[in-house]
Structure 1
Amino acid sequence: MKGSEEDAGLAGKVALVSGGGAAGDGIGNGRAAAILLARAGVKVLVADRDLGLAERTVAMITAEGGVAAAHAGDVTSEADCGRLVDAAVDRWGRLDFLDNNVGIGSRGSVVDEKPEEYRRVMQVNVESMFLLSKYAIPAMIKTAKGGAIVNISSISALRPRGLTTYTTSKAAVIGLTQAMAVDHGRDNIRVNCICPGPMYTPMVYARGMSEAARSQRANASVLKTEGTGWDVGHAVKFLLSNHARYITGQVLVVDGGVTLQGPERDSRDH
């Protein structure tokens, strides 16, 4: 049976990818998704707080013949979220997809965490997805008569290991995803969530990581290997495509089987 990118219903569509930059030429979840979507014929608005990082992603896409544009934006700002959605629609006349990637870590317990840090993590990890979706959904309905959204959570939401504020925020992303799926199914908008495991991405290795720590992370999975941003990016592409046309409100775990194992004690963020 012959398959093609056209079968996936991606070519000619428009996507907004938040957190689409990454340090240097590194491949984070957002950059991987942006590149893979562009390879499938999607026009991609790459958004990042650091315009230079978004521009590097766009350069990588255009070098392969893809179509993309970079925009700076702070997704904790309602005004910026509105501007990002408008930028995609103004440039290409429609918006079909939203990939919500932005997130930060936190390590404190409920006793140790400062209230202001709790509020900041919830703002970045949850409210940003709320705000971008708030503006993206009406644009999808108006310009494309539907669409699809993917939110990035974490396996920490499924198997808590401390990190109270981070875990709480990522669990909230799952709840947000499922509620949005119910609210907007009638609008022909699918909303799904990905829970990545220990991915070797610039956000992780920029803080420094020993080979021993990498080995520990790899051994936490039943496949005995680390994941990469490409693994998450391929999952995003699938969930946005027509191949997932009957999937909504679901949590796709991309972790190499980490959650099938016993408690994993690596303190680094997933």
Structure 2
Amino acid sequence: MGDRLKDKVAIVTGAGSVGPGWGNGKATAVLFAREGAKVFAIDINLAAAEETKEIIDQEGGDCTAHQTDVSKSEAVKAMVERCLETYGSINILHNNVGILEIGGPVEASEESWDFVNNVNLKSIFLTCKYVLPQMEQQGGGAIVNISSIAGIRWLGVPYISYSTTKGAIRQFTQSVALQYAKQNIRANSILPGFMNTPMVVKSLANSYADGDVEKMIEVRNALCPTGKMGDAWDVAYAALFLASDEAKYITGTELVVDGGTSCKCV
């Protein structure tokens, strides 16, 4: 166990995993706990959050699992209240919830567009709405939002709602960072590139390789300058740095975690 987040309380949304293995939120929640944070693990699937809690408990950490639909205002408000009842403060807000649905502006349905926007973008608006007053009252805090290089680059797959929301998260984060800078509240975003996580496998296998997961991994690996996709721990360690006091003079920035992918011209 480390102490980079000792005595801090961290809300991690999307702290479960949609399938076997390590998703970004699950890895981040466990890493935060390993570094001394008390973790309030949020997921719409309580069983997934409880699986993360079980890992943290077994390692001697402190975690509370809580079911929340972060696209619903009253649910988010209740979640924040429950966290404060449990731990008394909120020092870190890590917004990791994200979904992906395939389709360009013609192919995607209006319902799909609204669904992705509500989960990916409205959720961050709502968590910040209810957490920021608490952080301001405490005298500071750190917010880390997961965006994507899909918000700055075309990655070869038409998912207009996903790329649009990920681009919007960047500007949302910068706006919060500048508005609250004098209140000692930092806000930064992480832009992962091609990652090998359960969410990617679930959402994209059909788009790359007709459902052949191994082929999809091979294709996506080849798109990376390093020859290999990143994993959830790459994102988790970036989040740990931005959430910690080591990043005390970093706000409004975008930390790209993509193995150099976004540097390529082709």
Report the counterpart of residue 73 of structure 2 in structure 1.
78
1:4-15 matches, within 5 Å, as: 5-6=2-3, 8=4, 10-15=5-10
Amino acid at match of 1:116: E
Report the counterpart of residue 135 of structure 2 in structure 1.
140
Report the counterpart of residue 160 of structure 1 in structure 2.
154
SS of residue matched to 1:222 = coil
Deviation at 1:262, TM superposition (A): 4.0
1:30-49 matches, within 5 Å, as: 30-49=25-44
Distance 1:25 1:12, change over 3 A: farther
1:209-248 matches, within 5 Å, as: 209-248=212-251
Find the aligned partners of 1:35 and 1:74 in 2 and give their Cα distance: 21
1:20–1:31 contact (8 Å) kept in structure 2: yes
Show CA shifts across 1:188-223 (max 9, x none). 110000011111111122455432221221121221
Deviation at 1:250, TM superposition (A): 0.7
1:1-270 matches, within 5 Å, as: 5-6=2-3, 8=4, 10-23=5-18, 26-142=21-137, 144-161=138-155, 162-206=158-202, 208=205, 209-263=212-266
1:220–1:261 contact (8 Å) kept in structure 2: no
Distance 1:24 1:157, change over 3 A: closer
2:230–2:259 contact (8 Å) kept in structure 1: yes
Deviation at 1:116, TM superposition (A): 2.4
Find the aligned partners of 2:23 and 2:215 in 1 and give their Cα distance: 22
SS of residue matched to 1:190 = strand
Show CA shifts across 1:245-266 (max 9, x none). 1111111111111112244xxx
Deviation at 1:24, TM superposition (A): 5.5
1:73–1:84 contact (8 Å) kept in structure 2: yes
Unaligned stretches of 5+ in structure 2?
A: 206-211
Deviation at 1:123, TM superposition (A): 1.1
Show CA shifts across 1:223-263 (max 9, x none). 11111111111111000001111111111111111112244
RMSD: 1.6
SS of residue matched to 1:150 = strand
Greater Cα shift, 15-24 or 187-196: 15-24
TM-score norm. by structure 1 comes to 0.91
Percentage of matched positions with identical amino acids: 41
How many residues end up aligned between the 2 structures?
Answer: 257
SS of residue matched to 1:75 = coil
2:8–2:91 contact (8 Å) kept in structure 1: yes
Show CA shifts across 1:41-83 (max 9, x none). 0000000001111000000001000000000000001011111
